[in-house]
Structure 1
Amino acid sequence: MLYGKEHVDRYRATDGKEGHDWNGTTVLLLTTTGRASGREHTTPLIYQRHGDDYVIVASKGGAPESPDWYHNLTANPEVQVQVEGDRFTARARTATPEEKPEVWRLMAATWPQYDDYQAKTDRDIPVVILERAGG
């Protein structure tokens, strides 16, 4: 099973032919700029489409803190996204309280463990909307 750097490398090398379809769901590559280092970091993440946007979840498996990539995009919301062979710049934002119930249901339908992750942490797990730049 692909995971971490190997997942990113195979996804990039094959335009997502290897790595996009993963464990019964779909994965994109998110590249953020490190808020301290200024270096690019790429993470494979489960996603779904919501209209023209892409939706991802900052679950970190239900850990008490959000993942580094989420802290990076809150500091610098301009991100790079790859969905299969489509590479584009996007603006990342956290779903509003009004938007969250709908996009959470969308994501939990594709990856039911998200509900388990939320149940095991006191943190309100953020859902992130990726809006294609110029879109």
Structure 2
Amino acid sequence: MVVRAVQKVSSTRGFARVAPHVVPALDRAVHRLTRGKVLLSAQMLPGVILTSTGARSGLPRRTPLACMPEEDGRSWILVGSNFGRTGHPAWTANLRARPDAEINWKGTDIPVRAQVLEGEERAAVWKKLLVFWPPYATYQARVEREIRLFRIVRRS
């Protein structure tokens, strides 16, 4: 019941205007205060803190993101939905420019490599994502761009 309510609220344009300013800031603060043990948004969806390298600045960028863990336990899907806003989120440009990154998953830092999903592979993952979190369909319908999907895989 609560999940459906959150899905409904997260599909609204008001949420898309407010959430990008509030949710990441709260996630970063709580994650830092709990030394990586708690990610507020992960109470509804699994989440990671992605540390990527800025495409232009070269500086580390920490971004809390919802993710869809894959069955292998070594990879996750990240969705560049930007809460259904028109532009691609900055972290997607960072991963495209520099695919080696790090995630904090349940308090553990894990080195990863990102791959942009395209074509049939993207289509198959998109179908799974819509079952996992239906509001992604609303986000995609709201924007003209194709939402970027990434598979991040644990590096050795």
Q: Shorter-chain TM-score category?
A: 0.7 to 0.9
What does residue range 42-61 of structure 1 map to in structure 2 within 5 Å? 42-50=62-70, 51=72, 52-61=74-83
CA contact (8 A) 1:59 1:125 kept: yes
**TM-score calculated relative to the size of structure 2:** 0.76
Mapped partners of 1:76, 1:85: distance in 2: 23
Aligned CA distance change for structure 1 residues 124 and 97 (closer, same or farther; 3 Å): same
CA contact (8 A) 2:46 2:69 kept: no
Name the counterpart of 2:7. none
Aligned CA distance change for structure 1 residues 133 and 112 (closer, same or farther; 3 Å): same
Q: Is there any run of 5+ residues in structure 1 with no aligned partner, and where?
A: none
Aligned pair count reads 133
Measure how far apart 1:18 and its partner are. 4.2
**TM-score calculated relative to the size of structure 1:** 0.87
Which has the larger Rg?
Answer: 2
Mapped partners of 2:46, 2:41: distance in 1: 5
1:39 aligns with 2:59: yes
Between 1:3-12 and 1:115-124, the stretch displaced more is 3-12
Q: Is there any run of 5+ residues in structure 2 with no aligned partner, and where?
A: 1-18
Structure (1/2) with the larger helix percentage: 2
Residues 76-112 of structure 1: CA deviation (Å, up to 9, x unaligned) = 1111101112211100111131211222122222322
Mapped partners of 2:86, 2:23: distance in 1: 22
Mapped partners of 2:56, 2:39: distance in 1: 31
Structure (1/2) with the larger strand percentage: 1
Measure how far apart 1:127 and its partner are. 0.9
Root-mean-square deviation (CA), in Å?
Answer: 1.9
